[in-house]
Amino acid sequence: MAESGRSHSGRRRLRRRTRRRVRRALLVCLVVGSVLLGAAGWVGFRGWQARAHLVNAAGLARELSTQVLGGDLDRAQRTLAALQEQAGAARTATGDPGWALARHVPYAGDDVAAVRTIAVAIDDLAREAFPALLRTDLTTLVPTEGRLDLARLRAASADLTAADAAVRRSRAGLDAVPAEDLVSQLGTALTELRGEIDRLAGLTGAADRGARVLPALLGADGPRSYLLLSQNLAELRATGGMFGAYAVIHADDGRIRMREQGTSAQFGRFTPALRVDEEVRRLYTDLPGIYPADVNLSPNFPAAAKLYREMYRRHSGVTVDGVLTVDPVMLSYLLQATGPVQVPGDATLVSNQVVRTLLSDAYQGRDDTGQDAFFAASASAVFDAFLTKKVNPRVLLSALDRSITERRILFWSARSTEQRTFADTRLAGALPEQESTPTVGVFLNDGSGAKLGYYLRPTAILTTGDCADEGRRQLKLRFTLHSSAPDSGLAKSVLGLGMAGDPYTARTLISVYSPAGGTVLSARVDGKPTPLGSGIERRRQVVIATVDVAPGATRTLDVDLLTGRNTTGTAELWHTPTATPWTTQVVPAPSCKQ
């Protein structure tokens, strides 16, 4: 009996201890839950505050950009002060202990952390990058009476370097945030912010490099000379168009002058052919080393520039220091800054009409000699206006930025130290052999022996597909090419050799370049398998489809590709700049890690 009583008493004590533990656990859960709920409410309130500040900051940043480029420094200073206040408030709202605790909450933690990162990035831009840009006098980047003040340009270099470094630090912070793991609205906002900062980085990077390299390029250490080439977009080549008219630019201590002018046709043909890289020769035969008009069948501009420089040396006996290319669309952007330009004894070039004037109207009623003379006179007139007219720095810099972004201005320096300074930029036009983000190239070469490129309308959609082994990703490219050419009435010089049979049918060689280290899996023209040329260039598999497009017709090329190993991010599309801007779309997909 005694044993039974002690057992019963022990069970009662055990039950009491268990009840106390349960009550204690419930109390702890209640307290923790209350704290978490309170923290969630606090974070929600602070998040609402942060969102308001960030929205205000974004609007102010856009205003500031416009004011800085427009030279309105007084308003820009006031806008900067307001931007710093809003950005600082957003940073404060996302920097307290409650916000830090919320970053560890399951599911929502990534979103909370992303908002904090965005707030810090915008605040850093407001406190470091924009003040440095505001101290820069943009007129130092614009020539006056044919000369750029190199001393003032050098003085601006330190501020431009500081601004560029701040922009890149902000971008690096955003790179650490996995956009694909965020709620859709926040992921979209992060992607858009990255795009805006990438654009800003392009500007600050170009300005920084320009301030450091331009003095030497413009003759600070001795005279320089460069070939200025005009790409004729009516006769397509991979980098844009056939290298037609050229001019020699001389620079000495910041003063720039245009001297000799001529055309590629004056060079004749080179036999034996100049040495061409073996990969390029297998794709395009020896043509790039024989004809000046074919040096840019490959999209890799530095190789084309070297070939043309050597051809000019053999033709003239003069060795230039570099090669610069522009096209009529770039001139249309430049004319927005200079205003209309009169070609002596001929047409007036106007921004919204110059592309048609140079690529269509110029061929009506002029023989080949007259066309060459008009192109040379037009280039000289626009160049003189750019150097001597008083232009708006904002419009000019916007025109140059857009042209570089679209790869309508390309530059190569024969001095390797200078070339390395901007070798990884769009200005260099170099097809990268190594990449962390996959790029697909679609490049066009005329196969008609004609000048029908003006009438072509290209469209490209690049869709991210399934995940594959070794960190690869499938990609699907759909490229369409439409011809708006008439079926009669064009000049003989436009119709050219008519190698497609019908002289009004545009024959185009479409080269598709896989991502670096990637492959092309298959290709179809109008839904049917088609014979393709193929090869390798710069670690990219290349396929070439020959497509004829009749007036009013549309042809479609579908290509399945595979990226290189362990590339990340949304794929990018590189393509030939044409007279009419491409319609492009890149369709992303969730990360393979999800």
The reply to whether 228 and 213 lie within a common domain is no
The reply to whether 453 and 504 lie within a common domain is yes
Based on C-alpha coordinates, what's the Rg of the chain? 30
Considering 217, 235, 268, which residue would you say is the last residue of a domain?
Answer: 217
Q: Is the pLDDT of residue 1 over 80?
A: no
The reply to whether 583 and 473 lie within a common domain is yes
21 or 348: which leads in pLDDT: 348
**pLDDT tens sequence across 238-258:** 999 999 889 999 999 999 998
Residue 69: pLDDT band with limits 50, 70, 90 = low
Q: State residue 10's pLDDT score.
A: 55
435 or 179: which leads in pLDDT: 435
Distance of CA 570 to the CA centre of its chain: 14
Q: State residue 153's pLDDT score.
A: 82
Q: State residue 51's pLDDT score.
A: 64
Considering the chain, what percentage of its residues have pLDDT values greater than 90? Answer: 49
Most confident of 359-368, 378-387, 456-465: 456-465
> What whole-number distance in Å separates Cα of residue 454 and Cα of residue 328?
11
Structure tokens, 391:
């232009």
5 or 73: which leads in pLDDT: 73
| Assigned domain for 429 exists | no
The reply to whether 43 and 183 lie within a common domain is yes
* Residue showing tokens 């750019």: 386
The reply to whether 40 and 112 lie within a common domain is yes
Strand 456-467 versus strand 519-525 pairing type: unpaired
Q: State residue 593's pLDDT score.
A: 66
Q: Is the pLDDT of residue 318 over 50?
A: yes
Rounded to an integer, the average pLDDT of 414-431 is 90
Q: How many CB atoms lie within 10 A of CB 299?
A: 28
| Assigned domain for 13 exists | no
> What whole-number distance in Å separates Cα of residue 502 and Cα of residue 487?
10
The reply to whether 114 and 150 lie within a common domain is yes
Q: Is the pLDDT of residue 213 over 90?
A: no
Structure tokens, 155:
């003085």
The reply to whether 309 and 189 lie within a common domain is no
Burial 414-441, CB ≥16 within 10 A → b, else e: beeebbebbeeebbbbbbbeebeebbbb
Structural domain count, the chain: 3
| Assigned domain for 493 exists | yes
* Residue showing tokens 């996302």: 94
Considering 202, 217, 232, which residue would you say is the last residue of a domain?
Answer: 217
Q: Which one, of 443, 436, 517, 512, lies nearest residue 476 by Cα? A: 512
Q: Is the pLDDT of residue 446 over 90?
A: yes
Largest CA distance in the chain: 129
| Assigned domain for 427 exists | no
**pLDDT tens sequence across 16-64:** 554 454 444 433 333 333 333 333 333 444 455 566 776 777 777 777 7
Q: State residue 32's pLDDT score.
A: 33
| Assigned domain for 325 exists | yes
> What whole-number distance in Å separates Cα of residue 349 and Cα of residue 200?
31
- Give the CATH number of the domain where residue 506 resides: 2.60.40
**pLDDT tens sequence across 129-174:** 888 877 777 677 778 878 888 888 888 888 888 888 888 888 787 7
Considering 217, 242, 260, which residue would you say is the last residue of a domain?
Answer: 217
- The four Cα atoms 313, 327, 555, 503 give a dihedral, to 10 degrees, of -70
Burial class of residue 48 in the structure, from the number of CB atoms within 10 Å of its CB (0-12 exposed, 13-18 middle, 19+ buried):
exposed
| Assigned domain for 430 exists | no
Q: State residue 33's pLDDT score.
A: 33
The reply to whether 180 and 206 lie within a common domain is yes
The reply to whether 472 and 538 lie within a common domain is yes
The reply to whether 94 and 212 lie within a common domain is yes
Segments forming the whole domain that contains residue 262 = 224-420
The reply to whether 275 and 367 lie within a common domain is yes
Q: What is the mean pLDDT of the chain?
A: 84
Distance of CA 433 to the CA centre of its chain: 17
The reply to whether 382 and 455 lie within a common domain is no
* Residue showing tokens 């023209």: 525
Residue 105: pLDDT band with limits 50, 70, 90 = low
| Assigned domain for 11 exists | no
Q: Is the pLDDT of residue 558 over 90?
A: yes
| Assigned domain for 1 exists | no
Q: Is the pLDDT of residue 65 over 80?
A: no
Question: Which uninterrupted H or E stretch holds 502?
Answer: none
Q: State residue 219's pLDDT score.
A: 92
Helix, strand, coil shares, percent, the chain, to 5: 50, 20, 30
**pLDDT tens sequence across 523-542:** 999 999 988 889 999 999 99
- Give the CATH number of the domain where residue 344 resides: 3.40.630
**The amino acid at 124:** D
Q: State residue 9's pLDDT score.
A: 59
> What whole-number distance in Å separates Cα of residue 80 and Cα of residue 72?
12
355 or 365: which leads in pLDDT: 355
